[in-house]
Structure 1
Amino acid sequence: MAKLSFLAGFGAGYVLGARAGRERYEQIRRGWDRAKDDPRLQSLAGMAQARADDALSSIRTRMGSDTPR
C-alpha cells in the first residue's frame, strides 16, 4: 500500500512539475526572443564585437603575427 501511495504521489508531482516547467520555459524563451530583437541589445552586441576584434588585432600585432586568420 505504501508503494502505491508513493507512486501515485510521485506521478502527480511529476505531471504538475512538468507542466509548470514547460510554462516557465516558454516564458523565458519569449523573453529571449524579445530581447534579441531589441535594437539596443543589437547595438551593444555590435560594439562588443568591434572591441573584441580590436583586442584580438592588438594581441596578434604584439605577438608578431600581423596576418589575420
Structure 2
Amino acid sequence: MKGILLGAAIGYVLGARAGRQRYDQIVRAYRTLADHPAVQGAAGIVRAKVSETTGLGRHQPHANGHRRDPVIPRAN
C-alpha cells in the first residue's frame, strides 16, 4: 500500500512539473503497456497464483452481490 501511495505521489509531482502534455504522454505510454497482451497474460498468472496462495477470490458473492464479512473469533 505504501508503494502505491509513493508511486502516485511521485507521478503527481512529475506530472505537475512537466505539464499537462507530458502527463498525457506518460498516461498514454502506461495504457499502451498495460494493454499489451504479454502484460495482460502475466497479470492473469499473478492473479491466479495470489488467489491460489491466499484463498482470496474463492468466495462466491451472495444473492445481493456482496461477500459476507469473515467471522473473526473472539480472543479469550
Normalising by structure 2, what TM-score? 0.47
- Residues matched between the structures, number: 44
Q: Cα distance 1:53–1:24, how it changes in 2: closer, same or farther (>3 A)? A: same
Selected match of 1:29 from 27, 30, 33: 27
The residue number in structure 2 matching 1:9 is none
Name the CA distance, whole Å, in 2 between partners of 1:19 and 1:47. 36
Give the helix-richer structure, 1 or 2: 1
After TM superposition, where is structure 1 displaced by more than 3 Å over at least 4 residues in a row? none
Q: Select which of 51, 54, 57 maps to 1:56.
A: 54
Unpaired runs of at least 5, structure 1: 1-17, 61-66
What is the identity percentage for the equivalent residue pairs of Structure 1 and Structure 2? 39
Deviations 1:8-27 (A, max 9, x none): xxxxxxxxxx6941111011
